[in-house]
Structure 1
Amino acid sequence: MKIFLTGYMGSGKSMVGEKLAKKLNYKYVDLDDQIEVIQGKSINDIFEDRGELYFRKLEAQILDDILENNSDMVISLGGGTPCYGDNFDRICAQKDAKTIYLKASIPTLTERLFLEKVHRPVISHLETREALEEFIRKHLFERAYYYSQSDITVNVDEKEPETIADQIIEKL
């Protein structure tokens, strides 16, 4: 089985993904990390050097490789991965795939992301918490259609990654 973790940036996909894969004894793949390894540069640098469109094409290509792999794995998608092209449709078409939406509230996302926005190209230009919160609110509204189609939704507010992983296993 392939378990795809979706959710907005800062929702905990990477941390939860590692815990979940370990508990299930599955391979773990972080899509953003894969892109960085293959390109030999950070997501930030890819965005700056080549732009978002180039990044999204790379993301779709690497997703194809993952979809063709028959191993059991947990995959942490980028926050925008399910929202571009036909990525989400291709994931859902897999007979052995489950999609899990890690749902975090806007205040939780704002708190987490404000502290690390310098490392996130999409939000690095936002200078105040208020501007970041408004950006998240708008972005979540646009992406809710995709996230809400996940097989399972888990609220992640005020929960440790270990607890979230356990809740996912219970719902699988």
Structure 2
Amino acid sequence: MNCSIFAKKAALQIVLIGYMGSGKSVVGKALADRLELPFLDLDDHIEEELGMSIPDIFRKKGEIFFRKKEHEYLKEILLSKDKVVLSTGGGTPCYSGNTDLLLDKTPNVFYLQLSVASLTARLADEKDHRPMISHLKPEELQEYIGKHLFERRPYYSRANHTISCEGKSVDEIAAEIAAKLV
């Protein structure tokens, strides 16, 4: 079946959730291309709306301000009912009732799942650009990710679909998601 025809038949809002570094943005872009839908990264949208980077928002306004804005923009996007592939921030489902909001508005919430070891390997070189882990020493990263992932797993596991991303290419993951769309 032609994916673009399928995408046009359904009122699609596809949401990707998962821990930072799980590939939500990269997979989201590939999926959007495959389905001929617009792609939106929630963090990029927040930066654009507020005119500052996520690290600057955390530093200057604090996490509570960020989480309020994150919820506000997420709700706005979902209520618009626009067709979109949306990648969320790693913490988005864990705050402000966002998981309930997501599940109420679309049957297409996908958790991109990776092991602690894989996430640690991916995030080791990106620490300075990630406000939640920028303060960690390299030897603290794996333990932090493991603890954090354990805390967030109850939120992530509520997704309509869990996609194991271990050892898969971006295109394989995008194809697997496309095959499961409601």
Q: TM-score range by the shorter chain?
A: over 0.9
Q: What is residue 117 of structure 2 aligned with on the other side?
A: 107
Q: After superposition, give the CA deviation of every residue in 1:25-55 in whole Å (9 maximum; x if it has no partner).
A: 1111100000010111110100010111110
* Structure 1: segments with no counterpart, 5+ residues: none
* Structure 2: segments with no counterpart, 5+ residues: 1-11
CA distance in structure 2 between the aligned counterparts of 1:137 and 1:3, rounded to whole angstroms: 27
Q: What is residue 71 of structure 1 aligned with on the other side?
A: 82
CA-CA distance at 1:84 after TM superposition:
0.3
CA-CA distance at 1:117 after TM superposition:
0.5
Q: After superposition, give the CA deviation of every residue in 1:13-32 in whole Å (9 maximum; x if it has no partner).
A: 00000000111111111000
CA distance in structure 1 between the aligned counterparts of 2:23 and 2:178, rounded to whole angstroms: 16
CA-CA distance at 1:97 after TM superposition:
3.6
CA distance in structure 2 between the aligned counterparts of 1:111 and 1:22, rounded to whole angstroms: 27
Query: Could you say what secondary structure the match of 2:67 adopts?
Result: helix
Structure 2 letter corresponding to 1:47: F
| Equivalent residues of 1:103, 1:155 under 8 A apart | yes
Q: After superposition, give the CA deviation of every residue in 1:56-91 in whole Å (9 maximum; x if it has no partner).
A: 001001011101112211100100000001111011
Structure 2 letter corresponding to 1:12: G
The counterpart of 2:64, out of the listed 26, 48, 53, is: 53
The counterpart of 1:123, out of the listed 120, 133, 142, is: 133
| Equivalent residues of 1:4, 1:74 under 8 A apart | yes
Instruction: Say what the alpha-carbon RMSD is for the aligned residues.
Output: 0.9
Structure 1 letter corresponding to 2:135: H
Q: After superposition, give the CA deviation of every residue in 1:101-147 in whole Å (9 maximum; x if it has no partner).
A: 0001111100010110000000001112x310010011111111011
Q: What is residue 171 of structure 1 aligned with on the other side?
A: 180
Normalising by structure 1, report the TM-score: 0.96
| Equivalent residues of 2:68, 2:96 under 8 A apart | no
Q: What is residue 158 of structure 1 aligned with on the other side?
A: 167
Q: What is residue 3 of structure 2 aligned with on the other side?
A: none
The counterpart of 2:91, out of the listed 69, 75, 80, is: 80
CA distance in structure 2 between the aligned counterparts of 1:34 and 1:171, rounded to whole angstroms: 26
CA distance in structure 1 between the aligned counterparts of 2:29 and 2:78, rounded to whole angstroms: 19
The counterpart of 2:108, out of the listed 74, 92, 98, is: 98
Query: Could you say what secondary structure the match of 2:133 adopts?
Result: coil
The aligned length equals 170
| Equivalent residues of 2:19, 2:90 under 8 A apart | yes
Single out whichever of 117-126 and 63-72 deviates more from structure 2. Answer: 63-72
Tell me if 1:135 matches 2:144: yes
CA distance in structure 1 between the aligned counterparts of 2:52 and 2:167, rounded to whole angstroms: 33
Normalising by structure 2, report the TM-score: 0.91
CA distance in structure 1 between the aligned counterparts of 2:177 and 2:58, rounded to whole angstroms: 32
CA distance in structure 1 between the aligned counterparts of 2:97 and 2:104, rounded to whole angstroms: 11
